[in-house]
Structure 1
Amino acid sequence: MKLVTFRCRGHHSIGKVVGNQVIDLPASDPALPRTMLELLQAGPAALERAEAVDASRSIAYPLADVQLDAPVPTPSKFLAIGMNYSKHVEEAKAAGIQVPDSQVWFNKQVSCVHPPFEPVHMPKASDKLDYEAELGVVIGRRCRHVSEADAHSVVAGYVVCNDVSVRDWQMRSPTMTLGKSFNTHGPFGPWIVTADEVADPHALQLRMKLNGEVRQEVSTGEMVFNIWQQIAYLSTVMTLEPGDVIATGTPSGVGAARKPPSFVKVGDVMRVEIDGIGHIENVVVGEPE
């Protein structure tokens, strides 16, 4: 399934995309939860019930008429791994950034969560705005101390992410959190593609286009630490909750590593594509007063 959170004609709900229609799940089956977080928390039985909703006997809207929100508008955590593609590690080292041997994690504060097609703000505090195309993982059940072998069982599905970064603010703190958490700097979506529809999340082609120019392109199979290793590592430290989002790393080609550095400007259009998942696209606008 492709699961969405959407707005249409003043109505806010969750649904599944079937062809060019969005099936309103709780309107079609009142026994289903009304938010994506509640749907994921309800577990496999609720997802099976959602999948069973018959498109021919449901309440639906044309996909072209709806406004898509972030699929999980209020995750409890938005975690991201740094330096997880070898060529990106090389460009970081060339820029003088020390790269540890272990997994490098940081928080994107959840206030940065943003819809997949709405404008991203150029902050008043900086002009060092950069893109990072990433595959995102959405956790499907509460878990702790998950083994690599079992990690696939806790995944609800996959999304397209742009880990928008403010580079000078990122470098002001060893945790990188401030530079990763400006409002609007966590767009993801356009939907959750459920895990059963992704045969191998490590065999997907990922690319970033800036104003139509390909700036990043890689196979997710080139990750240094794969998704199962990431989940095992994180769940050693903390309980992962349904709806938590994990951004699995960006490849080489970020603007900060270009010579000279090439940062995003107001009016630029950032488009992230992942074959088999979909795309998100955000124009950069000035931060409002």
Structure 2
Amino acid sequence: MKLATISVGGRPTPAVALGSGRFVDLSREGGLPSTLLGLVRGWDAHRGAVERLVAAGTAEIGPEGVRVLAPIPRPERNIMCVGKNYYDHAHEFHGSGFDSSGGAQAVPEVPVIFTKAPSAVIGPGEPIPAWRDPTGTLDYEVELAVVIGRGGSGISKADAYGHVFGYTILNDATARALQRKHQQWFLGKSIDGFCPMGPAIVTADEIPDVAAMRVSTRVNGELRQDARVADLIFDIPTLIETISALVTLEPGDIIATGTPAGVGLGFDPPKYLKPGDVVTLEITGLGTLENPVGGRPA
């Protein structure tokens, strides 16, 4: 099932995405949570009602007057991210002169974990505010994002997938010069609007083989990134085990799993994003996340 947050007449509501711009408006069913985050947290109790509403067809709406938002427009906790988690990108980033993660080793021995602020999240179609980066070094990073459904601490790799609710697409947009200047990654990656996400959360049962998924980025139609999730250095169970050993995971938490080679920083000269560019991310089974790059508002 593809679960989205849509705005209908300016009112955000959880919905089921049916394709071709059609949705099932879940606000028409009494007793369901008013947010997608609430639905994730109570999925076991509410799934049956959602399925019945979809089958009935009485709450279907078309694309007219509907705007798709980020699935969880304002996460309650920071988004957990993983640096240098594809082999080619680890070498690409390490050789760029921007890698402040420490040591002379390109490929990390353990997952490199950092976070992005919830205020960075924007939805499909919203402009990435390049003007907020005073250094002019806005870069893109396509990432498979894992949404936690069942929380817990000390989760083993063997049990990890049982805690996954679903998956979505995330653009870990980054101001590279700020990332290097501050010698850590939070500020350069947490600028307001620097985390496009969406278009929906696809429930885990819809993805039979996560490793077979492909992630890609196109900028103005030019293919920049293209890799398989199987190429991750640290797979999803390892990430969940590593994080939950120290930080209790909660339903609705988001883990961005890392980006492959082909970021703008990796070109000579770098191909940073500029106002007017269009960034299109695609992940097998999850759809497409597209955002323009915006200039300073008038």
Indicate the TM-score class for this superposition, using the shorter chain for normalisation.
over 0.9
Q: Which residue of 1 aligns with 2:182?
A: 173
CA distance in 1, matches of 2:64, 2:126: 15
CA distance in 2, matches of 1:157, 1:128: 32
**Secondary structure of the structure 1 residue equivalent to 2:144:** strand
TM-score by length of 1: 0.95
Q: Which residue of 1 aligns with 2:88?
A: 87
CA distance in 2, matches of 1:174, 1:240: 27
Q: Deviations over 1:124-150 (max 9, x none)?
A: 522000000111111112211110011
Asked whether the 8 Å contact 2:154–2:241 carries over to 1, the reply is yes
Do structure 1's residue 58 and structure 2's residue 47 form an aligned pair? no
What is the RMSD of the two structures over their aligned residues, measured on CA atoms? 1.5
Segments of structure 2 that go 5 or more residues without pairing to the other structure are none
CA distance in 2, matches of 1:49, 1:229: 34
- Cα drift, residue 257 of structure 1: 1.3
Asked whether the 8 Å contact 2:276–2:292 carries over to 1, the reply is yes
**Secondary structure of the structure 1 residue equivalent to 2:245:** helix
Structure 1 residue corresponding to 2:198, chosen from 189, 200, 208: 189
CA distance in 1, matches of 2:264, 2:195: 17
CA distance in 2, matches of 1:64, 1:170: 40
Q: Which residue of 1 aligns with 2:117?
A: 109
CA distance in 1, matches of 2:251, 2:50: 16
Do structure 1's residue 209 and structure 2's residue 210 form an aligned pair? no
Structure 1 residue corresponding to 2:141, chosen from 132, 156, 167: 132
- Cα drift, residue 254 of structure 1: 0.6
Q: Which residue of 2 aligns with 1:159?
A: 168
Q: Deviations over 1:181-231 (max 9, x none)?
A: 011111111000000000011110110000000000001110000011111
- Cα drift, residue 43 of structure 1: 3.4
Segments of structure 1 that go 5 or more residues without pairing to the other structure are none
Q: Which residue of 2 aligns with 1:11?
A: 11
The residue type equivalent to 2:114 in the other structure is F
CA distance in 2, matches of 1:202, 1:91: 22
Aligned length: 288
**Secondary structure of the structure 1 residue equivalent to 2:70:** coil
- Cα drift, residue 64 of structure 1: 5.5
**Secondary structure of the structure 2 residue equivalent to 1:149:** helix
CA distance in 1, matches of 2:26, 2:187: 37
Of 146-155 and 5-14, more deviation after overlay is shown by 5-14
Asked whether the 8 Å contact 1:132–1:162 carries over to 2, the reply is yes
CA distance in 1, matches of 2:126, 2:135: 20
Of 16-25 and 214-223, more deviation after overlay is shown by 16-25
Of 250-259 and 5-14, more deviation after overlay is shown by 5-14
Do structure 1's residue 273 and structure 2's residue 282 form an aligned pair? yes
TM-score by length of 2: 0.92
Asked whether the 8 Å contact 1:3–1:16 carries over to 2, the reply is yes
- Cα drift, residue 92 of structure 1: 1.9
The residue type equivalent to 1:169 in the other structure is L
CA distance in 2, matches of 1:37, 1:9: 20
CA distance in 2, matches of 1:159, 1:64: 24
The residue type equivalent to 1:225 in the other structure is F
**Identical-pair percentage:** 39
